[in-house]
Amino acid sequence: MKVVTANRLLDGEVVWQGADGTWVELLSLAHVLEGKDEVAKAMELATQSIADREVVEAYAMDVTQDEGRIVPVRLREMIRAAGPTTHPELGKQARASAV
């Protein structure tokens, strides 16, 4: 399983592609992709978003689901989903339903 992530060009916020192709700020709202065809279609939308200067550096990342919750596989993506490791009161982790 994968989701597509990027950084919003306007403010650098970490975002994920939602089910309707828009970019959402919470991993929990990301569209989980199954199989190469879904990933390819999602990356086509992401490429268009890059061309439209909405986001930068879009890529598909591995996730698992735990009791319906989307969980990043790699530590890097866990940190991107939660916020900076230097201060727990900053970033997405400061929000109640961050990850």
State what percent of residues in the chain have pLDDT above 90.
80
Burial of 98 (0-12, 13-18, 19+ CB in 10 A): middle
* Contact of 70 with 28, CB cutoff 8 Å: yes
Average of pLDDT values for 10-16? Answer: 94
The pTM score is: 0.88
Between residues 50 and 85, which one has the greater pLDDT? 50
Q: Helix, strand or coil for residue 91?
A: coil
Which of 45, 47, 43 shows the shortest CA–CA distance to 60? 43
Interval 61-77: pLDDT, tens: 999 999 999 999 999 99
Per-residue pLDDT tens for 35-66?
Answer: 999 999 999 999 999 999 999 999 999 999 99
